[in-house]
Amino acid sequence: MTTPLVTEPLMRRGVTEMAEPILAVESLVKEFDGFRAVDGVSFAVMPGEIRAVIGPNGAGKSTLFSLIIGELRPTSGKVTLDGRDITGLSTHKLMMRGLGCAFQATNVFWRLSVRECLEVAVTSRRRHSEKLFGKFAQDVDDEVASLLDQVGLSGLAQATSRDLSHGDQRALEVALALAMKPKVLLLDEPTAGMSPSETSRAVNLVRELVETNGITVLIVEHDVSVVFSLADVVTVMHQGQTIAEGPPDEIRKNPTVVEVYLGTSEFSKGLS
């Protein structure tokens, strides 16, 4: 098992070396017809940490994400959340245990307004499904208003979800994940398809969520410039395995990582 890293940003957030990992991946393997898409990956994420997983195309990042969130069952190995084995549990059960997910393919209720989407999510968590389209209690309204404010969508509360910009749709999906009160939030390519201004907004949103709410974040991301500006710890995958792990400054200079990414534009941007 990889020794958890306690970086300076984490120490400033009150995380010490005595803290226990909130999310751990242990010797995770996933085979498809004899091919190992994920090959013995291990890492431990500390409470309040922003952890990023990067790697060139085909490195196994998306498969790893699917294993953690329960979309795929591993061939071997396990995933733990708060010390409890959650390996292979359904995505729904994982959400109930505190693992929130926002996917690369935006997944919102397209015909509902932004406010209605969040009302559905909050009410679902509170298990008052019979009130789904009735009059909502004041505490539900207050929670929805808080979520809208957190992700910067207060001014678009009445807008239909399908009419939002791509960046606003991703912000809404993050809000939907937050509605489940996650301990750990997993973000799959959170800036994919975004303009530079939308990317900057998304980065700031993640920072604010961690600083304000104390949420732990695990990001699978292709844009290393985003990763290097945001993450406390970076895990680098190549051909299904972990080849490096450490703070962004170390990863940026790691010769093995540079060689793996050699000639790719995204890594060159991250170096600048």
- For residue range 59-106, list pLDDT tens digits in order: 999 999 999 999 999 999 999 999 999 998 988 889 889 999 886 555
- d(Cα 237, Cα 271) in Å, to the nearest integer? 18
Helix %, strand %, coil % for the chain, to 5?
40, 25, 35
| 175, pLDDT greater than 80 | yes
Does the pLDDT value for residue 130 go beyond 50?
A: no
* E strand segments, the chain: 23-32, 35-45, 50-54, 76-81, 84-85, 99-102, 184-188, 216-220, 233-238, 241-246
The hierarchical CATH code for the domain 1-98+185-272 is 3.40.50.300
Mean local confidence (pLDDT), 252-266: 79
Kind and range of the H or E element at 250?
helix 248-253
Distance, CA of 64 to CA of 218 (rounded, Å): 12
12 compared with 89, residue with greater pLDDT:
89
Task: Please report, rounded to a whole number, the percentage of residues in the chain having pLDDT higher than 90.
Answer: 50
With 0.95 as the threshold, say if the pTM is over it: no
Q: Where are the domains of the chain?
A: 1-98+185-272, 107-181
Q: Using the predicted structure, report yes or no on whether residue 128 has a pLDDT greater than 50.
A: no
Q: Higher confidence at residue 5 or residue 67?
A: 67
Please state the rounded mean pLDDT for residues 19-37: 95
Q: What's the rounded mean pLDDT across residues 207-230?
A: 90
Question: What is the amino acid identity at position 67?
Answer: L
**In the prediction, which pLDDT does 129 show?**
45
Going by pLDDT thresholds of 50, 70 and 90, the confidence category of residue 270 is: low
Q: Is 207 strand, coil or helix?
A: helix
Average pLDDT value for the chain: 86
User: Stretch 205-219: mean pLDDT, rounded?
Assistant: 90
| 3-class secondary-structure state, position 100 | strand
Give the β-pairing of 99-102 and 23-32: unpaired
Query: According to the model, what pLDDT value does residue 104 have?
Result: 55
How far apart are the C-alpha atoms of 152 and 157, rounded to whole Å? 10
Supply the pLDDT for residue 85.
96
Q: Above 90 in pLDDT, residue 50? A: yes
